[in-house]
Structure 1
């Protein structure tokens, strides 16, 4: 398990094979990725109820085509997540390193 995943292992909400994080933890996770210059490839938003895990395409974005050299991907990701509703949970797709 890499350093960032280890930091957040106790904050994961496991649903349907996904590792989901609250909005607050997602923003903290992004900050840790920025510290280690770990590429964030995408963010997927989900509405969670007791009985369902509903993906929200309107609250998901693919950053895999963005160049980390030309754009501050971390500011883009933080801004995107920051504008989402508080009741969303997020899957963070990132470049995993050991």
Structure 2
């Protein structure tokens, strides 16, 4: 860009952001019915995989993982990503390697 095209343009930190109709506006994560069912399935699976961890801790870990993706535009992969993040956190809490289901590496 030529310097002349930027003359007179004001750059401020407080410029209004463009509204995104797909963005979630709430701070708190509110799951869709499909995500809620997936969350329950994930919690049940992780309770079985980590029986030494308190059930409340497993639920909190899964909710935190889902919450970390609350602004994701593509929601299709959130359950998979949240479960992987939860497994990694729970494995670190019990001091073992993460048990990754379905990872054929």
The TM-score by the shorter chain falls in which range? under 0.3
Instruction: Mark the structure with the bigger radius of gyration.
Output: 2
In proportion to residue count, which structure has more strand?
1
Q: Which has the higher contact order (CA 8 A, sep 6+)?
A: 1
